[in-house]
Amino acid sequence: MKTEKHFLRKEIKQKLCLLSEQEKNRQSTEILQKIEQLPAFQTAETVLLYWSLPDEVDTQAFAEKWAARKTVLLPVVQGDEMVLRKYSGLSCLRSGAFGICEPEGEDFTDFDKIDLCIVPALAFDASGNRLGRGKGFYDRLLPRIAAPKIGVCFDVQLLNEIPCENFDAKMDFVISKF
């Protein structure tokens, strides 16, 4: 299964390289507009988001927009684990593990207060299975959070089926351009 996931990761990364910046921006806008229309998002007070990498649905302006009205949490990699911290604007960010911007400040540990999780991946399937980047950070974090989990991805990241194991965190649903 590890080999199959490795090849899927490689295949998806190649497909992502073929998407133009314009297409990624267009799809990101459509996906985030869909999220904003969800009752679960509209009523959420605390949202786990992520600071996007260049090959992910772009959440950076989205985080900035909503941080004034909601508590927006971003993950921070510490060793083999992810902790969560409040995003309070660009000035709170520093370059962290893997070159991803991460907020400084106190760790957020009251997982029961999280109302919604918006999660990236290299790929998802229709059953909510997620193919991450292979380090298992989200697989260790998400089971500790009871809130609904929404996977977001570009259309080339939707697969018919992803091989999964017991420890793989599953999404409640996935939102893409379609």
The model's pLDDT over 40-59, given as tens digits with 9 standing for 90+, comes to 999 999 999 999 999 999 99
| pTM metric for this prediction | 0.93
CA 169: distance to chain centroid? 12
The model's pLDDT over 118-147, given as tens digits with 9 standing for 90+, comes to 999 999 998 999 998 888 899 999 999 999
Tell me which H or E stretch contains 125: strand 123-125
Q: Looking at domain 2-175, which of 3.30.420.40, 3.40.50.300, 3.40.50.2300, 3.40.50.10420 is its CATH number?
A: 3.40.50.10420
Tell me which H or E stretch contains 35: helix 21-37
Residue count of the chain? 178
Average pLDDT, the chain: 93
| Structure confidence at residue 164 (pLDDT) | 87
Taking the CB of residue 72, how many other CB atoms lie within 10 A of it?
22
Helix residue ranges, H only, 72-121: none
| Contacts (Cβ under 8 Å, ≥6 apart) of 59 | 28, 32, 49, 50, 51, 52, 118, 152
